Structure 1
Amino acid sequence: MSERSHGRARIVFLVKVPVERRDDFLAAYEQIRFLVAEGVPGHLVDQVCRSATDPEQWLITSEWSDLESFLAWEATSEHRDLVKPLRDCITEARSLRFLIEAETAGRVPA
């Protein structure tokens, strides 16, 4: 199967942020998250997560209506400019792209 698909996609970034840059990293994330959520076509949701065992390990995930929307946005100069303050806090990064094949949602509490 081709990397390009018409189904939803999950983008995963595993990053290392030195403890002394934590506040800068979270402030940079806070500055961009609503701009992305409200203004980037195809963006559905994102999360930033801190490792429970390593204070320098972070996970950023985003879900997109399709992989093409993410790839189109990632290729723009607007994207590069917007995420620069976030990237300036990161010492290591790994990016992974997944196509969502199946999903299970739990019941919503009454």
Structure 2
Amino acid sequence: MTARILVFANVAPAVANEFELAYLQVTARMKGTPGLLGDELLRGPDGSGRYLLLSEWESEEQFLAWETAPGHREITSPMTPYWSGSFERRIYNIAARLEHGAAAS
């Protein structure tokens, strides 16, 4: 079952640009990771440094295997200096999906 991983994070606004560049480094390193379908970095609209990292995986199990694998911390290390305080991670399995553009029958 397809899973979405949401990571809510805070970054000091003064280093937001550096954090976004670090995110791009991490995603480049993750290309070809088994089970990873996509990844997005969403910035809050108010300039407060609030971010949502959203990734989609073929399954929750594949995400957890990647997260616990040796090398996970090394791959994601470019972003860690920019975390400001704690972050929260949530896993959701897709229960239903509307396919946009599909013809109604």
Report the TM-score when normalising by structure 2.
Answer: 0.88
1:44 matched to 2:37? The reply is yes
CA RMSD between the two structures? 1.4
Alpha-carbon distance in 2 for matches of 1:39, 1:14: 24
In the TM superposition, what is the alpha-carbon distance from 1:55 to its structure 2 partner? 2.7
Q: What stretches of structure 1 of length at least 5 have no aligned partner?
A: 1-6
In the TM superposition, what is the alpha-carbon distance from 1:53 to its structure 2 partner? 2.5
Pick aligned residue for 2:81 from 80, 88, 95: 88
Q: Identify the range of structure 1 (40-49 vs 70-79) with the bigger mean alpha-carbon deviation.
A: 70-79
State the one-letter code of the partner of 1:83: T
Q: What stretches of structure 2 of length at least 5 have no aligned partner?
A: none
1:76 counterpart residue number: 69
State the one-letter code of the partner of 2:56: E
Alpha-carbon distance in 2 for matches of 1:35, 1:85: 10
1:55 counterpart residue number: 48
User: The residue matched to 2:71 in structure 1 has which SS?
Assistant: helix
2:59 counterpart residue number: 66
In the TM superposition, what is the alpha-carbon distance from 1:35 to its structure 2 partner? 2.4
% identity of equivalent residues = 29
In the TM superposition, what is the alpha-carbon distance from 1:47 to its structure 2 partner? 0.5
Alpha-carbon distance in 2 for matches of 1:88, 1:97: 24
1:16 matched to 2:10? The reply is yes
1:4 counterpart residue number: none
In the TM superposition, what is the alpha-carbon distance from 1:54 to its structure 2 partner? 4.3
Q: Deviations over 1:40-86 (max 9, x none)?
A: 10000110000112431000000000011100000123111111221
User: The residue matched to 1:44 in structure 2 has which SS?
Assistant: strand
1:3 counterpart residue number: none
1:99 matched to 2:104? The reply is no
